[in-house]
Amino acid sequence: MTTIAWDGTTLAADRCSWSAGARRRVRKVFKVRAPDGSLYLVAFAGNGNFAMEVLRWMRGQAERPDPYRFVRSEQMDHQCALVIDERRRVWQLGNELTYSSMNERIYAFGAGQDFAWGALEAGASAAQAVRIAIKRSDWAGLGVDTVRF
């Protein structure tokens, strides 16, 4: 479960990872310098091991991971990350590691996205939107991390 929000300036995500009934504190948002020097903001959802391998790949520290080692075939149409480029364009990164452009100024993603979308549309910051999802849902928890350019 994850809640991610982008308010046009800040990318925020909750800190909770769920595993067999236990909640653990993790970081889901990162500022990434790609091998070509470009800078991205990235927030991950889904399989944590896959997310960390994708992060290493995005940084040029590892080869492109094989999604089928981490993700069940019926989840290949899901998204693993929200990516914001330096021009503040919004991209979803699919589990097959393909990018899809989202023509939105603000964005919410993950299991708690309905709460975050409503908060963003009402004028909340990305961090506030995630805090609202933490307060009102089971799909976010343990605080908020943020990154910005």
Q: pLDDT tens digits, residue range 105-116?
A: 999 999 999 999
The fold for domain 3-148 equals Glutamine Phosphoribosylpyrophosphate, subunit 1, domain 1 (3.60.20)
When pLDDT is cut at 50, 70 and 90, the band that residue 74 belongs to is confident
Q: Could you tell me what percentage of the chain is helix, strand and coil, using 3-state DSSP and rounding each to the nearest 5? A: 25, 35, 40
| Stated pTM of the model | 0.94
Rounded Cα distance, 139 and 107, in Å: 17
Average pLDDT over residues 68-72: 83
**Mean pLDDT calculated for residue range 114-142:** 96
Q: What is the pLDDT of residue 2?
A: 94
Task: Give the whole-angstrom CA distance, residue 113 versus residue 130.
Answer: 9
Per-residue pLDDT band at 76 (split at 50, 70, 90): low
Q: Which residue has the higher pLDDT, 37 or 18?
A: 37
pLDDT at 21: 83
User: What is the pLDDT of the chain when averaged over all its residues?
Assistant: 94
